[in-house]
Chains A and B, each alone.
Chain A
Amino acid sequence: MAHITLNNVSFSYRYFPSISGGLLKSNAGLKSHLVFKDFNLEINDGDRVALLGVNGAGKSTLLKVMAGVYTPEQGTVTTEGKIYSFFGRSIGVMPQLSGLENLEIRGLLLNLPDKIIQEKIKQIIDFTELGDAIYRPVSTYSMGMKTRLTFGMLMFVEADIMLIDEGLGAGDKFFLEKAQAFIESLLDSSKILVFANHSMELIKKFCNKAILIDSGQIVQFGAIEEVIKRYNHLRHIEIYKE
């Protein structure tokens, strides 16, 4: 039984200020930016949740809080089940390494045994059809090839909870169909999906629920069609205001 519960979570992230200003102007000190205040959320078995919201609404931060990367300063985050967080950051971590080495590191990062890593890598190479390019440094990859490798990295796991941030692009048309079929099969094996993506096509395909976030608050949480309607309405208002 997988679930994620956020109870009265408050979180602000900290950052070093921008480097603008004169050469001799100090930019020391951490700034703090409040993202969530008294945030409550419960996601249960079988929920495939899309995170919707304008840029900067807090979608990525929410995913990081769920993944345990960020610890909230107040409130509690409880999760049950094996989590796989995929925020698309690892691809090109070391662009001078080959696709194969990037895959190996991914496997090690997930703490998988060698045997499984090798098996999975074989499957991934077949699936992504990268062929000999898998031995070339990732820095030489085209966008489409990087997308394929990113999808490949998703194949490593059978987790109960999958947290996926944007970064899953489309790739070429032919590959897209294959990737969709794969994600569907992946979703059968994992129990919860939390998915942040700007592609409505992907969201509608994979999710049954959605959360609309605005300025760190849940505007609506429910069945996907209704939330998307509300989201479009909200976006429309924003465009209209401009």
Chain B
Amino acid sequence: MSLIKDIKNGYARKKLWKRLAVLELKSRYQGAVIGSFWIVLTLMLKVFMLSLVYTMVLDRDFKEYVMFLAIGVLTWNFISAVIVTSGTVFKKATNFLLEIKLPHSTFVFQNIYREVISLIMYQLFAIPLVIILKGWSFVSIVWLWALFGYVLIVLNAFFINFWLGWLATRFRDIQPMLSSVIMIIFLVTPILWPPPAEYANSLYFQLNPFYHLLELIRAPMLHNQIPVLSFQVAIGLLVFNMAICFAFYHKVKNRLVYWL
């Protein structure tokens, strides 16, 4: 079975992975009064508190900064969640995989779908926030590029999930490494702070793929610009991630179950 067939067969089990993803989200907030709304509330609290402090620290305009932060943090939340959870994507499915032969992609779909739901819930907070602060006139057709940017991010997430999932199942050092590395990336990538104007073109930022992924969303939504270079980087990343998956699938497909 090739990877394409795996993905096709996995997609066909959409009722299963959709259900599992929703139940997984709900189970995190079992018994909580406001339930899954916590997903949005945590983001709101985070953005509000950070904005209060960082507008002071960075000496920024509150309105501009809060938008920059909200869009950046929510996109980052998606990216980091996908990377951290890819370490457990197959491990969590042990009971299923050891009982019935299922396409690997079933659980990748589950993982990505769950995070996409969170992403959409985040937007329910972020888009109205931008519109309230800036008014309807701020909304433009260029925002569609941000939508395309999300499509690229989600596609990248899908394939990264595959190979990081395999890698972390086989090599148990990956999972603990992921959680610590992701924290470092968060601190060195312009998420909390906009890159200083005089360094914006420095290699330090330009070589950071995460910076480009965030720019896919921030540039169109906040500055009405189409970040051409960032789109090229994102497409390049996608090709890279797909290549890894295609190269390793036939080696991994039968062995994954032994590593669980």
Contact = CB atoms under 8 A, between A and B. Distances in A.
B97 A104 contact: no
Interface string A93-120: 1101100010011001111001000000
B98 A69 contact: yes
Interface stretch (B13-21, B156-164, B198-206): B13-21
Interface in A180-203: none
Nearest to B30: A96
Given A108-B19, A109-B16, A30 B99 contact: no
Contact of A108 (B15, B27, B98, B170): B15
Contact of B100 (A14, A71, A109): A109
Q: SS class of chain B's interface: helix, strand, loop or mixed?
A: helix
A102 to B, nearest CB: 10
A94 B13 CA distance: 19
Given A90-B96, A94-B27, A96-B27, A71 B19 contact: no
Interface stretch (A1-9, A48-56, A81-89, A210-218): A81-89
Nearest to B24: A94
A103 to B, nearest CB: 12
A237 interface: no
Interface in A1-53: 13-16, 28, 30
Contacts of B98: 64, 69, 87, 89
B112 to A, nearest CB: 18
Nearest to B17: A108
Interface residues of A, number: 29
A70 interface: yes
B257 interface: yes
A64 B99 CA distance: 7
B96 A104 contact: no
B136 interface: no
Given A71-B254, A101-B23, A111-B13, A28 B173 contact: yes
A227 interface: no
A201 B259 CA distance: 35
B172 interface: yes
Contacts of B16: 105, 108-109, 111
Contact of A104 (B19, B172, B254, B259): B19
B99 A90 contact: yes
Interface string A67-79: 1111100000000
Contacts of B259: 14, 16, 30
Interface string B1-44: 00000000000010110011001000100100000000000000
A71 B235 CA distance: 36
Contacts of B258: 13-15, 30, 70
B5 to A, nearest CB: 15
B90 to A, nearest CB: 13
Chain A CB count within 10 A is highest, among B23, B100, B173, B257, for B100
B95 A93 contact: yes
Given A16-B172, A68-B101, A70-B257, A90 B95 contact: yes
Contacts of B27: 94, 96-97
Contacts of A86: 99
Interface of B: 13, 15-16, 19-20, 23, 27, 30, 95-102, 170, 172-173, 254, 257-259
Interface of A: 13-16, 28, 30, 64, 67-71, 85-87, 89-90, 93-94, 96-97, 101, 104-105, 108-111, 114
Query: Ordered nearest first, which 4 A-B pairs have the shortest CB separation?
Result: A71-B254, A108-B16, A14-B258, A89-B95
10 contacts: A28-B173, A67-B100, A67-B101, A69-B101, A85-B100, A89-B96, A101-B23, A105-B20, A108-B15, A109-B96
